[in-house]
Amino acid sequence: MGKWSPLLAVCLGGFILLVDVTIVTVALPDIASDLQASLTGMQWVVDAYALALAAIVLASGALADQIGRKRTYLGSLVVFGVASLACGLAPSTEVLVVARAVQGVGGAAMMATTMAILNVVYHGRDRGIALGIWGVVAGVASALGPVVGGVLTEFIGWRWIFLINIPVVLLALWLTAKVVAESTNPHAQGVDVPGVITFTAGVAAVTYGLMEAGQHGWASAEVLGWIGAGLLVLVVFVVLQARSTKAMLDLTLLRRPSSLVILLAAMAFSFAAFGYLPFMSVWLQQSLGLRVLTAGLALLPMSLSSFVIAGTLGRRLHAVPFRYTIGIGMAVVSLGAFLMTTGNSWTVTLPGMIVTGVGVAVTAQALPGAIMATVPHQRAGMASGALNTFRQLGFALGVAVLGTVVSHSTEFDKGLESSYVVAGVVGAVAAVLALVFVKSRSAASGNEAKQALPVDA
- Split into its structural domains, the chain has a count of 3
Are 231 and 308 in a shared domain?
A: no
Q: What local confidence, expressed as pLDDT, does residue 364 receive?
A: 86
Give 39-83 pLDDT, tens digit per residue.
889 999 999 998 988 888 878 877 888 888 899 999 999 999 999
Give 13-42 pLDDT, tens digit per residue.
988 988 888 889 899 999 999 999 888 899
Q: What local confidence, expressed as pLDDT, does residue 274 receive?
A: 92
Q: What local confidence, expressed as pLDDT, does residue 448 receive?
A: 40
Average pLDDT of the residues of the chain = 87
Are 148 and 203 in a shared domain?
A: no
Are 242 and 253 in a shared domain?
A: no
Average pLDDT over residues 218-224: 88
The DSSP line for 211-273 is HHHHHH-TTSHHHHHHHHHHHHHHHHHHHHHHH-TT-SS-THHHHSHHHHHHHHHHHHHHHHH
Single-letter code of the amino acid located at 385: G
- CA-based nearest residue to 358, from 319, 321, 392, 307: 307
Question: Cβ-count burial of 243 within 10 angstroms (0-12 exposed, 13-18 middle, 19+ buried)?
Answer: exposed
CATH of the domain at 21: 1.20.1250.20
Are 430 and 319 in a shared domain?
A: yes
Question: Is 2 inside a domain boundary?
Answer: yes
Question: Is 51 inside a domain boundary?
Answer: yes
Over pLDDT 70: what percentage of the chain? 94
Question: Is 358 inside a domain boundary?
Answer: yes
Are 225 and 331 in a shared domain?
A: no
Give 122-154 pLDDT, tens digit per residue.
887 887 788 778 777 877 787 788 889 999 999
Q: How confident is the model at residue 332 (pLDDT cuts 50, 70, 90)?
A: very high
Boundary-marking domain end, from 131, 151, 182: 182
